[in-house]
Amino acid sequence: MTKQNDLLNFFQQHKENKILKWRHYFDIYDRYFSKYRGKPVRILEIGVFDGGSLHMWRNYFGPQALIYGIDIIPECKKLEDDGFKISIGSQTDRQFLRTFRAETEPFDIILDDGGHTMRQQITTIQELYQHVKPEGLYLCEDMHTSYWLRYGGGVRRPRTFMEYSKKMVDQLNAWHSEQRRLQPDSITKSTYSIHYYDSIVVFEKKPMSPPEKMETGDYRIVDHAKMTTQSLSKRVRGRLYNLTSGILRFLHLRG
């Protein structure tokens, strides 16, 4: 039996303020948001449109939820009459986002459903990712614009949000880097996981420390001494290759 999704049910029955979502989003929302239901969750949605999704969040999370919205359209301020907190400004305006950050407490959930251009998505995560609580969530949706030429996108095109987020995957694993260009930073130390779905990426935050390798038990089958010798030989060859490649690059020669 398929689990009932209260967000989808609300959407299907809703007839007032406009809501526009892709159908598969509802299961993703419920997977990550359900733990906050009935609690005083702080949620920020960027791009409130006609306000329908704000009402959906209120219905889903319950009356204790503190729901904020950011939009560039001044008329959206009217949604404060319904109990929401609305700030008017552009998500490409760094000073606006920094002022908003200074005037509000960190959020459990930040959802970027704004203008979906590369500059908007990248600027917003650069300024507001730090404003998510240490174990909160940051979502960017409608990432398919990273593949739309009219939005500045394109497959593996530099400076798209998709390519930017892939660099955050590198930072997630920076503890293991042997190169100076990739070292642990604030992303590495505050991000637990990054989950990709069709058109949505979910960042789960959690204070992180260098990974701890653990072992237990005795070697009973594997010849550990032989394996260690072979591994050392491979590492030496690998370092010699890297050294040679570096010298060739320095001399602008082709290897």
Class of the CATH-defined domain 6-205: alpha beta
Confidence (pLDDT) at 230: 65
Residue 245: helix, strand or coil by DSSP? helix
User: How confident is the prediction for the chain on average, in pLDDT?
Assistant: 91
Q: Which two tokens stand for residue 234?
A: 């491979």
pLDDT at 22: 86
Q: Rounded to a whole number, what is the distance in angstroms from the first to the last CA of the chain? A: 59
Which backbone phi and psi does 34 adopt, to 5 degrees? -60, -30
Q: Count how many Cα atoms sit within 13 Å of the Cα of residue 66 in the half-sphere of its side chain.
A: 8
- Residue 243: C-alpha distances to residues 232, 234, 237, 247 (Å): 17, 14, 10, 6
Residue of 89, 83, 90, 46 lying closest to 66 (CA atoms): 83
Whole-structure pTM value? 0.85
Secondary structure (DSSP) of 90-156: -TT-HHHHHHHHHHS--EEEEEE-S---HHHHHHHHHHHGGGEEEEEEEEEE-GGGGG-GGGT--TT
Neighbours of 210 (CB within 10 A): 10
Answer yes or no: is pLDDT of 63 > 50.
yes
Report which of residues 103 and 246 the model is more confident about: 103
pLDDT tens for residues 2-30? Answer: 478 999 988 888 888 888 888 999 999 99
Break the chain into its structural domains and give their ranges: 6-205, 216-255
